[in-house]
Amino acid sequence: MKKPVIIGIAGGSASGKTSIAHTLYNTFEKTNSVVIIKEDDYYKNQDHLTMAQRVKTNYDHPFAFDHELLIKQLNDLISGKDIEKPTYDYVNHTRSHKTEIVTYSDVIILEGLFVLESKEIRDLLDIKVFVDTPSDVRFIRRLLRDVNERKRTLDSIVNQYLTTVRDMHEQFIEPSKKYADLIIPEGGHNYVAIDLLVTKISSIIAQKVV
C-alpha cells in the first residue's frame, strides 16, 4: 500500500476552502480515490461546559481544535488504518455524538483554518494550498452561512467577527500563506486553479494504479 498524498487547503473563514474541496471530491467521487477531512470536525469536545460558557469559546484560535487527535488520525490513514472521525454540532457548540468511518484513500484533502499554521500538520502535507479571498467577501459569506445553516443571530455573528474572527485571521491565518505551494484567489470561483489541482490529482491517481 502506497502512502496517500495529502493536500492541505487553508484560508480564512468562508474563503471558499470547502467549495474547492468538494469540487475536487465530486470530480473523483466515482474513483473512490479521494476523501475529505475537515479540520472543523476536530473542534474540542465541550460537553463539560454550560451553553453560556460554550458560546464564549474563541473558535477562531488554534487552541479550540484537538490537533493532537487530528494528527494521530492522519498518521493512521497514512499507515493504511481506518479512523473513526469525530463530527461537530454547531448548534450546540460541542462535539456531536455521531462519528464517521474514514478509510484509506489515494488522496486525502484536508481543509481548515489552521492547516498551514500548524507545523505538525504542515509536515504531513504533500501539497499546500491557501485560498486568498478578500475580507469583505468572506464576511458576507460567513454571515449568510451562519444565519442559514448554523441558526446564529445577526448580532452574534457581527460581534464574533469584530471581537475574534478578524484579529485571529490577521494573527494566525494570513501569515500561514507564506507556506503555500499554491495560492488561489477568489476561492471556488477560480476555475483555472481548480483545473490545475484536478490535473495534479488525476496524475496522482494514475501513478497509484501503476
CATH of the domain at 9: 3.40.50.300
pLDDT score recorded for residue 210: 53
**Overall average pLDDT of the 145-171 stretch:** 91
Quote the domain boundaries for residue 66: 5-200
Q: CA 22 to CA 16: how far, in whole Å?
A: 10
Q: Give every CB contact of residue 75 below 8 A, 6+ residues apart in sequence.
A: 124
Is the pLDDT at 170 greater than 90? The verdict is yes
Is the predicted pLDDT of residue 188 greater than 80, yes or no? no
**Total domains present in the chain:** 1
Per-residue confidence (pLDDT) for residue 46, from 0 to 100: 95
Extract the runs of DSSP E, i.e. beta strands, from 16-102.
34-38, 83-89, 94-102
Contact at 8 Å (CB) between 182 and 116? Answer: no
Answer whether residue 96 is part of any domain: yes
In a domain, 207, yes or no: no
Whether residue 209 has pLDDT greater than 80: no
pLDDT at 152 over 90: no
Residue 208 lies in a domain: no
Looking at residue 110, its amino acid is L
Residue 61 lies in a domain: yes
- Across the range 96-102, mean pLDDT stands at 96
Q: Give every CB contact of residue 133 below 8 A, 6+ residues apart in sequence.
A: 11, 12, 14, 15, 16, 185, 186, 187
CB 114 within 8 A of CB 121: yes
Q: Is there a domain that residue 182 lies in?
A: yes
**pLDDT at position 55:** 86
Mean pLDDT, rounded, for 145-165 = 90
Percentage of the chain lying above the pLDDT 70 cut: 99
Q: What angle do CA 88, 150, 175 make, to 5 degrees?
A: 70
Question: Would residue 142 count as lying in a domain?
Answer: yes
pTM of the model: 0.92
Cell 465541550 locates to 46
Do 145 and 152 touch, CB atoms closer than 8 A?
no
Sign of CA dihedral 184, 16, 66, 4: negative
pLDDT of residue 201: 95
- Chain centroid offset of residue 195 CA: 20
Q: Say if 34 falls within a structural domain.
A: yes
| Structural domain includes residue 186 | yes
How large is the average pLDDT for residues 14-20? 93
Mean pLDDT over the full length of the chain: 93
Indicate the DSSP class of residue 16: S
Residues 71-77 have a mean pLDDT of 98
